[in-house]
Structures are given as structure tokens and as C-alpha cells.
Chains A and B, each alone.
Chain A
Amino acid sequence: MKQRAKLQAKFTNGTHHLWTFLRILMAGVLLWLAAPSYALEDQSYESLMKWIEDSRPGAETVMPGQHLTEKDRQSLLEPLIPHSAWKYYFFDGMEMEIAATGHYPAPDAWGENMASDYKLDEEGTLVGFTGGGFPFSEINRDDPNAAQKVLWNMLWRPGSNDYNMPMVTWLRSEDGSLDREMEYTSVNTTYARGDKSLVPGYEEVKSKKIMEFRSPRDMAGAKNMTIEYVDHYKEDSGWLYMPAQRKPRRTLASERTGEMMGMDMIREDLNGFGGKVYENNWAYLGKRKVLATVNVSDNPEIGGPSLWVPHKTRWEVRDTHVILIEPKAKNHPYSHRIVFIDAETYWTHWMFAFDKEDDQLLRMAQHFLKYSESYATEPATQSSYVKQDFSKNIGHKVFMHLGETDINAKKPHATITHCHVAKRDFTPARAKQFYSLRNMISGRR
């Protein structure tokens, strides 16, 4: 009887263990089946906000030298890649090389020649600032203007201009097929340099940029010049030269919400946010560690099933400020925009914009950067159509924008760009000549 009871107990116990095991197994299977599919497909604003609020991993979760793959996804990658991007960045065969989180000093004289009499007005707009350093050396999360201050630091970050940038852009469908390829070059220069302008007499100008298309032929020779002003309330000035018209045409700068040249981005998406501060409401969501392609050795290989995302490249865990931007305009395509901006360098790593119709992801962008001093040990690839001296990059102590991926989640479609950046210093006289309306009245043909 005792034996029987013992056996029954053993059986009951065993059944209990088996049942427990089965329940765990079932839960695991369900989790395996349900949780990832939910996580992959859910690209809502709420889910990204939840991801931002939930786990806040430290940098120590991943180790330098690690090569992370799909199997590291749940344990290591999900906490460090923003949730809305999982669908694109996690795939069979994926590989991410983890590098130590670096410290990237700003240029030597950065912050030493700044004007001091600047302020944020009631709209959060920076008034009276003329560059030369970050306008806000500290970001306090309790500051009601913390988000705008992060943004202003991003807009005035070192290295955002002063280069020749030949680019190649690929526009790809979800099946990876190439729909269009474009080649173009951007040349731009910072005028506002703190206590002086590059070109005396042009103190109202923040920067000037000329961008010219090289291919395909239906766009070759098209070029535009943009003048950005120190006064944020003053709209940019722009001219577009089309070879078919053989003359420049004044353009409207205030339309920033339509897709450009068939690409999967709008003008307001540039560098995470390229619009007007006073046209939006702002909130600071705190700091968040994310993986970023912050100092890649070269233009990253592009992979994934759609050939949309960087693959087999170098990532770092970076501390970022997370800011929430809500357009005030009722007819704006976005309900919310969330931008992850590096807490040290103030370059944008990730941007997510949500559709006003349903709060689902509409567009996202992720940027590839390389620190100028890395060119000493890791030369970058030349563009296919112009050779440049990258050694000139060394010593500037700024980041080079090596490209980005811009995804339209609703189409779905992506624009992937590789940039081949070489620093370029203009003399005042040369800048005056180059960035002139005179230079816009004729072109390649």
C-alpha cells in the first residue's frame, strides 16, 4: 500500500513534472510562434514607445569583438535595435560586428568661438546663435525644452557641412529588385562659424549647398542650390537648374512633406529632422542605448532579404537622446516622429515616422557614419565616378556621413545611399564664387 502510494506519488509527481514541462514547452512554442511574429509585424507608434520605456540595457550586454547573428536576436539585439526596425534588421544570415563604444572628440577649437547672447524663444526656436559649438552643452531631462535643445545641437553639430560628397542611391523594392539608381554630388559649406562668417558680409547665412545629378540621364545635369539662414524663421532660398530648361528656377523651400525624386524620404526627414522647429510640438523621452553604425570602416555592405539594410558591418552601442516630434499641421503625413540622436556627437542614428492615418510606421531612416580620424587606418572606398583625397579628412575630428537607408514601410520600398565624403575647405573668395546664382545659370548642358 505504501509502495503503491509511493508509486502513485511518484507517478503524480512525474505527471506533474511532465505537465509542467509540457506547459513550459507549450508556452515556449507559443512564445516562439506568437511573440516574434507579433514583434516583427507590429510597427505601431505604441510599440516603439513601449520599447523605449521598457528595457534599458547597459553597454555591457554586448561585447566588443562579438559577431552577432539571428540567434542573438532575443537575448542581445532586441533591446538595442529600435522595435520598429526589427522587421528589416533581423534576418537569416544577418551578421553584426560589435565594436567598443568609442569616444569621439569634437574639433579642437569647438565651442571656443561662440556667440554668447543667444536664447530659445517661446516656440523653442534658437535665436541669435551663429555656430562654432554646440548651443547647449548639457541636456537636462527635466528641462521642458530638452527635446528642442537636443535638436539644436544636432542641427549645429560639427562636420555637418564642408565636404564634397559624391553619392550613389539605389531604390529597391521589397523583393530586392533595383528600380532606379542615381548618382549625384553634394558640395556644401558652413558660413556661420561662431564669431565670424566664412565670407565677411554674409553673416545671415548659415550654410550653402549645391547638389548636382550625374545619372540617370533623365536627371543628369539637374542641380540645385540651397541657402540656409542663421535665422531659423527665414525660409531657405533655393534654385533648381534643369538642363532641359537651360535656366535656374526659384524653388519653394517650405514644402517639405512630399517624396523627393522618387526616393523614399521627404525633405523633412533629412538627418532625422530637417524641418522647422516652430511647426512641431516637442517632447524629450530620455536617453536610450541603441546599436548604431557610428564608425564603420567603409560604406557598409547592404543585405537582408530585400537588400535594404547594412550587413556584416561594425556597430557600437551608443547613448542616444530620444526625442518625440509631433507636427502641428493637420495635413502633415506624420502623427509622430521619434529620433535617436547621439548623446556625444549629436548625429542622428535612427528616425521613425508614423502615419497620421493609423499610427503605424510610415518611414524610417538609419545612418552610417565614419569618424574622420579613422581614415588614417581604414581608407574608404572611392566612388565609381570621381577619385578624392580622403587623407584630407584626417585631423578634422568630425563625422563623415557614409550613407543611410530610408524605408517606406507602407509601399514597401527603400532608398539606400552610399556617400563618399572628402572634406573640402573653401576660401572666402572661392565660396563666394562657387555658391552663387551666377554658378546656377548654366550647367552640364
Chain B
Amino acid sequence: MIMSRNRIALFLSFLSLTLFPAVSWGIVDVTDNLELEGYVKAQNIMRASGLHDGELIQQRNTAQLEGKYYFLEDNKAFGRFSTGPIEEATFTFLARGVYDSVYDIRDSYEDTDDKGKSEYKVREAFVDFLMPPFTLRLGRQQVVWGETDNFRALDVINPLDLSWHWSRESWEDIRIPLWMARGIYDIGKIGPFEESFFELIVIPWDFQPNKVSTDPRHPWAFTGAGLAEIANSAIIGDELFDLDLTIRDIRPDRKLRNGQGGFRFKGILGDVGVSLNYFYGISATPGIKVRGDLTQLNLDTQTLSAVVDKVYPRTHVLGLTANYSEDRYTQSVFRLETTLTKGIPVSIAAGAPIGIDSDGDQYDTVRQSVVMLGIDRPTWIKLLNDQRTFFISTQFFWRRYLDHSSFYQGVSSVIPASIGGEVIADRFVSTNTNRLDRDEFVITFSASTSYGRAGRWKPQFVFAYDPRSTGAYNKLVLEYLWTKHIVFKAEQHFYWRESGSEQGPWSLGDLWGEAGNRRNETVFSATFQF
């Protein structure tokens, strides 16, 4: 329940944003060489699991400051030191402070560990050097490869922070920047290629996994299918045991041997933009090794002490992308991305044959391929908008386990513990009857346009659908650019499924459209930008 004083706090925080003085500035020029920009944003999310209920689950207040310092221009640093072949250099930083006031204003969040409540970080800080035909970016940064939007295939260099709103935010804001060096050598024309370049990425030590909350008290915790609870029990035979689970995070340490890196060659072949990519990385999604050798069953205390290791296997990602602007017949841009990844961690069901689970730890790594075909098309729908086109973008994403077994497990579920058909209060067990399909599909569609005299009303429609599980996700967005500085945005997210109970891998309506775990949301944000 929300306390009345907290409603006042909510109102005041909104008011403080909207009444912010509308000073007329864009990017702030601190000096001739230093520019600042950024924003302050309040985002409120109401979650409704049904028609008649709703709860405030997020009140995220963000301040972001971005700066660029042009310290080397025309082969001179700071206007006086000759830098030889280095023509230009800049220093860029992006710092973010976050305070989610919902953790303070809701009674039910009082006993959480405050993880996700605040964040104060210099997210990105890098120096760009231009030494034609070579450019070098050194520092903490994001690197995005590939043609796919919002699905992981080639865009795997930076891990994601899925802890505060899963992947439903702009990925720019949820990628976890890493310390790395990115060098690009411009080639231009070579053989049949035009506009070609070669890119090399080295991440010497900085490995970070995807950030996922598993604490069910957090609004965007990933607790699998079933109940938003922690499994605290195990049933062996017909007996109920307390479950004491120890999770050991075997994260690669900051040593050069745990470095990552990759390269990309990109160019235009004929009229087709193509790239060949390779990335030698570490899986940001951990695998779970069940340590049977460390598991103990204490009959005196009726406790099962289990140990699992979170491990991060090495991955090899080989990818090929293409794009083509077909102007004559379809007036569309076609995008293609294919990858072959080795080292994807999978869980194996207990009791699998030794040929499938040779180490007996319910863990293995497999090869996986991805094919994504996307189409972008600016399209006239004059009935709906006679001034501007709709930008329509659709993607077909096919993921295939090249090594597949019917023992490979998908998402687990937490269910109430029951003995002899009798449910035991406050006792929950983890179960997993979900098996990975060899082939996984998802289709996405989005349409956006703008209305109003200066195009300041910007609606967007997003739809994702998994044809196997029939899980779906819809997002309706309306953004209003009220002034140069103030932007309002309202969003409605729906998770639903057409039929059945099969679990898919994409976290759509098959997972978050189910009763008890439904995450339909209304999002309202106000941003002051400069």
C-alpha cells in the first residue's frame, strides 16, 4: 500500500521536474573546448496484474551528465603542444546518478536490501584519438555490433543490467560499459569492397556478467516461471527438507588470461553492406554447475545443503551481417544477421544419461546459431497521418541449438511444496519440467511516426510474438516534446499469450503474462533535458 505522505512525495517530485525553470539552452559550452549536456528524469511505473489492482513499483529519478572535452585539435594538444600524427582527440564522459524513491515510500519494500535503490557511476569515460586513417578509443565504453535491434546475437560485447526494468529500457541505458580499447583502421576501397574498415577490440581484464536480480522482493526480479518466491525446501522421496542452497560465483578474475577481444571487417560489396565479425568472449549469462560432491543431506536437521557454482564459459562468436536498401520494388531496407556461437551454457535435467551429462553436474556448453532477417520501411499510411510517414521495422529471429538434447532445461519454476497432495504453507520447491526447443523463434514489429505542427507528438507501437509458446508483448508509447527541455512520455506494456502453457525463452507473455507473475505496466516519465 502506498502511504498518503508518499503520494505527496510523488506529486512533489513530479512537480519539481515540470516546474524546473525553462532556461533556454541546448548543449552548455563551459569553455570553447568543453561541452556539457544531460537530463534529469523521473520515471514512475504502476504494475497491474488484473483490471482492479495496481501498485507503484518504480519511481526512478535519474540525473545524467555528459561531457566532451576537445583537448587536441589540428595536431596541437591544449593549443600548444605538437602531437605529430595525432590530428584530433577528445575526452568524453557520461555519469549517472539514480535514486529510486519507491524503496523509501512503499512499506512493502522496507525490508529489501536496497539493491537497485540507488546508483552513482561514471558509466562511460573514454578518449578518442584520430590519426588518419586510424582511430582509437580508449576507456570505459559501449560497442554495438550487428543489425539486430534488442536481441542478443552479435550485440554481446557489453553485458546488460536487467535488474531494474529487464530489457524494456533503451539498451543504451542498460548496457554495462566495459574498459576496453577499440581501434579502427579505415581502408576505403579494397578489391570489390567500398567504405571498408577493420576494427579491433581488446578488453584486457574487465569482465562483468549480465546483472539480474533474483530476489523476489524486487519488482523486476527474475524468479523463473511459477511463483515469485525463493525455493526454501526440497522433497526427497515423500519427505520435506529445508533447502540450504549455497551459490558460489566463480567469476573470472581481473587477469589478462580472462581478457576478451574481437575484430570486424565491414564494407560495401556492390550495394550490400556486409561485415564479418569474430568475438572471443566470456558468456555474460552464467551456467549453473550442480556440485553433487559438496551436497549434504542432514537427516537430523532435515536439511539439504546444496552447492551450485555459477560459471562463465568462454565463447566464440562468429558473425556475418548484411544490409541492402532496395529502392525500386519494395522501398525497404533489408537487414540480415547470422551468428554461430560456441560456449553457450545449458542446464541438464537431473538423471540425464552420462552421454549427455558426462560430468554429472547438470551443466554443459553447446553451439548455437542465430539468423535474423529485418525489414525497415518508411511507409505512408495517409489515413492515419498525411504529413509524415510511419517508420515500420520488423524482425524475424531464429535461434537454433546445434547441439541439442531433450534433457536440456529451460526456465525453472517455483511451486508450493506439497506432500501427499497436501500443500504446506510457506514452503516452496523449485522444479523444472521445461525443456529447451532446438529451434526458437520470435517476431517483432514496431511502427512509429510523429504528429503535431512540429512533430512533437511521437507515438510508437511495439509487438513481439513467440509463435511456439504463443507468448506476446505489446508496448504503446506516446512521447510529447513539450518544450525544448521538457519531455513527457507515457507507455503501456502488455504481456499476454494466445494459448497453451509452453514456456518460451524470450520473457514475453508466456512468462510475465501468467496469473501471479503478470507484469502489465503503465509507465509515465518526465524528463528535463539540456
Residue positions of A touching B, CB distance < 8 A: 171, 173, 179-181, 183, 201-202, 214-218, 220, 235, 237-238, 243-247, 249-255, 257-259, 261-263, 331, 333, 385, 387, 408, 411, 413, 429-430, 432-433, 436-438, 441-442, 444-445
Cα distance A444–B70 in the bound complex, in angstroms: 12
Contact A258 B325 (CB under 8 A): no
Contact A436 B186 (CB under 8 A): yes
For residue B332, which residues in chain A have a CB less than 8 angstroms away from its CB? 252
Contact A262 B377 (CB under 8 A): no
Cα distance A243–B172 in the bound complex, in angstroms: 8
For residue A385, which residues in chain B have a CB less than 8 angstroms away from its CB? 26-27, 29
Interface string of B229-261 (1 = CB under 8 A from A): 000000000000000000000000000000000
Cα distance A237–B267 in the bound complex, in angstroms: 13
- Among A171, A257, A438, the residue within 8 A (CB) of B186 is A438
Contact A180 B37 (CB under 8 A): no
Cα distance A250–B530 in the bound complex, in angstroms: 28
Which 6 A-B pairs give the minimum distances between C-beta atoms?
Answer: A262-B455, A215-B26, A254-B327, A258-B389, A179-B454, A217-B529
Contact B378 A258 (CB under 8 A): yes
Tell me, rounded to whole Å, the shortest Cβ–Cβ distance linking A151 to chain B: 21
B453 within 8 A of A: yes
Residue positions of B touching A, CB distance < 8 A: 26-27, 29, 32, 37-39, 66, 68, 92, 94, 124, 128, 132-133, 135, 137, 142-146, 149, 170-172, 175, 184, 186, 188-189, 195-197, 199, 266-268, 271, 273, 323-325, 327-328, 331-333, 335, 376-378, 380, 386-389, 450, 452-456, 481, 484-485, 487, 529-530
The listed residue with most B CB atoms (<10 A of its CB), out of A235, A408, A438, is: A438
Tell me, rounded to whole Å, the shortest Cβ–Cβ distance linking A184 to chain B: 10
Cα distance A408–B186 in the bound complex, in angstroms: 43
For residue A218, which residues in chain B have a CB less than 8 angstroms away from its CB? 481, 487, 529
| CB closest residue in chain B, given A414 | B453
For residue A217, which residues in chain B have a CB less than 8 angstroms away from its CB? 26-27, 37-39, 529-530
Contact A258 B380 (CB under 8 A): yes
| Known A237-B325, A437-B268; 19 more pairs at CB < 8 Å | A171-B454, A215-B26, A216-B481, A216-B485, A220-B26, A246-B142, A246-B143, A246-B175, A250-B325, A250-B335, A251-B325, A257-B380, A258-B378, A259-B387, A262-B455, A385-B29, A438-B195, A441-B197, A442-B137
For residue A429, which residues in chain B have a CB less than 8 angstroms away from its CB? 132-133
For residue B450, which residues in chain A have a CB less than 8 angstroms away from its CB? 262
For residue A442, which residues in chain B have a CB less than 8 angstroms away from its CB? 128, 137
Tell me, rounded to whole Å, the shortest Cβ–Cβ distance linking A49 to chain B: 25
For residue A180, which residues in chain B have a CB less than 8 angstroms away from its CB? 454-456, 481, 484
| CB closest residue in chain A, given B155 | A247
Cα distance A161–B249 in the bound complex, in angstroms: 58
A255-B389 in contact given A216-B26, A250-B273 (Cβ < 8 Å) = yes
A181-B484 in contact given A244-B170, A251-B325 (Cβ < 8 Å) = yes
Contact B68 A214 (CB under 8 A): no
Contact A250 B487 (CB under 8 A): no
For residue B268, which residues in chain A have a CB less than 8 angstroms away from its CB? 237, 437
Contact B26 A438 (CB under 8 A): no
Cα distance A201–B196 in the bound complex, in angstroms: 14
Contact B327 A235 (CB under 8 A): yes
Tell me, rounded to whole Å, the shortest Cβ–Cβ distance linking B40 to chain A: 11
Cα distance A313–B508 in the bound complex, in angstroms: 60
> Can you list 14 A-B contacts with CB-CB less than 8 angstroms, sorted by A residue number?
A216-B481, A218-B481, A220-B27, A246-B144, A249-B333, A250-B324, A252-B378, A253-B327, A258-B387, A262-B454, A333-B386, A385-B29, A436-B188, A444-B68
Contact A262 B456 (CB under 8 A): yes
Contact B389 A436 (CB under 8 A): no
| CB closest residue in chain A, given B387 | A259
For residue B267, which residues in chain A have a CB less than 8 angstroms away from its CB? 437
For residue A245, which residues in chain B have a CB less than 8 angstroms away from its CB? 144, 149, 171-172
Contact A252 B377 (CB under 8 A): yes
Cα distance A251–B386 in the bound complex, in angstroms: 21
For residue A331, which residues in chain B have a CB less than 8 angstroms away from its CB? 380
Cα distance A436–B135 in the bound complex, in angstroms: 12
Q: Mostly helix, strand, loop or mixed at chain A's interface? A: loop
Cα distance A261–B26 in the bound complex, in angstroms: 17
Cα distance A181–B529 in the bound complex, in angstroms: 14
For residue A432, which residues in chain B have a CB less than 8 angstroms away from its CB? 133, 186, 188
Tell me, rounded to whole Å, the shortest Cβ–Cβ distance linking B431 to chain A: 39
Contact A214 B188 (CB under 8 A): no
For residue B387, which residues in chain A have a CB less than 8 angstroms away from its CB? 258-259, 408, 411
For residue A444, which residues in chain B have a CB less than 8 angstroms away from its CB? 68, 92
Cα distance A238–B323 in the bound complex, in angstroms: 12
The listed residue with most B CB atoms (<10 A of its CB), out of A180, A243, A252, is: A252
| CB closest residue in chain B, given A181 | B484
Count contacts between A and B, CB distance < 8 Å.
157
Cα distance A445–B456 in the bound complex, in angstroms: 23
- Among A183, A252, A259, the residue within 8 A (CB) of B26 is A183
Tell me, rounded to whole Å, the shortest Cβ–Cβ distance linking B520 to chain A: 25
Contact A215 B455 (CB under 8 A): no
Tell me, rounded to whole Å, the shortest Cβ–Cβ distance linking B122 to chain A: 13
For residue B92, which residues in chain A have a CB less than 8 angstroms away from its CB? 444-445
Contact B186 A433 (CB under 8 A): yes
Contact A246 B172 (CB under 8 A): yes
For residue A430, which residues in chain B have a CB less than 8 angstroms away from its CB? 132
For residue B94, which residues in chain A have a CB less than 8 angstroms away from its CB? 445
| CB closest residue in chain B, given A355 | B386
Contact B453 A171 (CB under 8 A): yes
| CB closest residue in chain B, given A333 | B386
- Among B27, B195, B484, the residue within 8 A (CB) of A436 is B195
Contact B325 A252 (CB under 8 A): yes
Contact A436 B481 (CB under 8 A): no
| CB closest residue in chain A, given B130 | A433
Tell me, rounded to whole Å, the shortest Cβ–Cβ distance linking B464 to chain A: 18
- Among A216, A244, A411, the residue within 8 A (CB) of B484 is A216
Tell me, rounded to whole Å, the shortest Cβ–Cβ distance linking A27 to chain B: 41
The listed residue with most A CB atoms (<10 A of its CB), out of B124, B145, B199, B455, is: B455
| CB closest residue in chain B, given A215 | B26
Cα distance A201–B132 in the bound complex, in angstroms: 18
Tell me, rounded to whole Å, the shortest Cβ–Cβ distance linking B188 to chain A: 5
For residue B529, which residues in chain A have a CB less than 8 angstroms away from its CB? 216-218
A255-B331 in contact given A183-B26, A385-B29, A445-B66 (Cβ < 8 Å) = yes
Cα distance A245–B146 in the bound complex, in angstroms: 11
Contact A244 B456 (CB under 8 A): no
Contact B124 A411 (CB under 8 A): no
A179-B378 in contact given A215-B26, A250-B333 (Cβ < 8 Å) = no
For residue A258, which residues in chain B have a CB less than 8 angstroms away from its CB? 378, 380, 387-389
Contact A179 B132 (CB under 8 A): no
Tell me, rounded to whole Å, the shortest Cβ–Cβ distance linking B156 to chain A: 13
The listed residue with most A CB atoms (<10 A of its CB), out of B38, B68, B188, B273, is: B188
Contact A252 B172 (CB under 8 A): no
| CB closest residue in chain B, given A174 | B453
Cα distance A298–B209 in the bound complex, in angstroms: 56
The listed residue with most A CB atoms (<10 A of its CB), out of B27, B133, B170, is: B27
A254-B331 in contact given A179-B456, A217-B529 (Cβ < 8 Å) = yes
Cα distance A217–B487 in the bound complex, in angstroms: 10
Cα distance A238–B388 in the bound complex, in angstroms: 19
The listed residue with most B CB atoms (<10 A of its CB), out of A247, A411, A442, is: A442
For residue B170, which residues in chain A have a CB less than 8 angstroms away from its CB? 244
Tell me, rounded to whole Å, the shortest Cβ–Cβ distance linking A272 to chain B: 20
Cα distance A171–B455 in the bound complex, in angstroms: 10
Contact B484 A215 (CB under 8 A): yes
For residue A201, which residues in chain B have a CB less than 8 angstroms away from its CB? 188-189
Contact B378 A255 (CB under 8 A): yes
Cα distance A358–B146 in the bound complex, in angstroms: 46
- Among A179, A215, A216, A246, the residue within 8 A (CB) of B453 is A179
Cα distance A232–B40 in the bound complex, in angstroms: 47
- Among A215, A252, A263, the residue within 8 A (CB) of B333 is A252
For residue B144, which residues in chain A have a CB less than 8 angstroms away from its CB? 245-247
